Amino acid sequence: MPEKRAARLSPDERRAQLVAIGVDMLVDRSLDELSTDDVARRAGISRGLLFHYFDSKRDFYRSVVRSECDDFAAATEPDASLEPVAWLRSFIAGFVAYVTEHRRVYLALVRGAAGSHPAVEDIVEATRSTLARRVEEGQRRLGMPHSPRLSVATRAWMAFAEEAVTSWPLDEPDALAELGAFLESSFICLLGTLDRPVALPDQDLSPL
């Protein structure tokens, strides 16, 4: 059977197609296992033509990861004109929607080995820093007191939120609404008490 001939696309369309194929393939393989031969085959082009659009395999890897990270950042950017509570809820809803819809790629890039790959580590970290700044902005918008521990608490909440979203049982009724409320309450509890942390009372709390 003759090999399927690639559709004629503009350079930008072809580049976007190749990146999309790369992102799709990251669902079940590591970044190092992302074969440019396989990507080219899926696109119906030669491997040599793929490198007409990317300077190197490293450039291709970075383009794939940057595309996904840019989508993640865009999905979690609320409308700046929203009131504080609506702004926070929009941020959390965007975070939940993106991670639940792209769970396997998210785990591979943001939490998995791909995120610490030397070719793309700076892109992933820049995205995490963008998310951290939004968490801090939400804290400020709600009028919560500033604390020198804010940056640490911000990263702690992000780790908590990631674990909650990737582990939450989504097949239950109203699961997304409950998850959103859970993340909102954790945001308030963790980031709203930085200036007045409260420890457990100094007494035996063991059951009788």
DSSP string, the chain: -PPPPPPP--HHHHHHHHHHHHHHHGGGS-STT--HHHHHHHHTS-HHHHHHHSSSHHHHHHHHHHHHHHHHHHHT---TTS-HHHHHHHHHHHHHHHHHHTHHHHIIIIISGGGG-TTTHHHHHHHHHHHHHHHHHHHHHTTPPP-TTHHHHHHHHHHHHHHHHHHS-TTSTTHHHHHHHHHHHHHHHHHSSTTS--PPPSS-----
Prediction pTM value: 0.85
3-state secondary structure 99-135: HHHCHHHHHHHHHCHHHHCCCCHHHHHHHHHHHHHHH
Judged against a pLDDT cut of 50, whether residue 3 lies above it is answered with no
Judged against a pLDDT cut of 60, whether residue 34 lies above it is answered with yes
- Name the CATH topology of 11-63: Arc Repressor Mutant, subunit A (1.10.10)
Listed in order, the ranges of the chain carrying CATH 1.10.10.60 are 11-63
Confidence of residue 1 (pLDDT cuts 50, 70, 90): very low
Q: What is the pLDDT of residue 30?
A: 80
Judged against a pLDDT cut of 90, whether residue 89 lies above it is answered with yes
Confidence of residue 105 (pLDDT cuts 50, 70, 90): confident
Instruction: Work out the mean pLDDT of the chain and round it to a whole number.
Output: 88
Listed in order, the ranges of the chain carrying CATH 1.10.357 are 65-191
Which CATH number describes the domain made up of 65-191?
1.10.357
Judged against a pLDDT cut of 50, whether residue 84 lies above it is answered with yes
Q: What is the pLDDT of residue 146?
A: 86
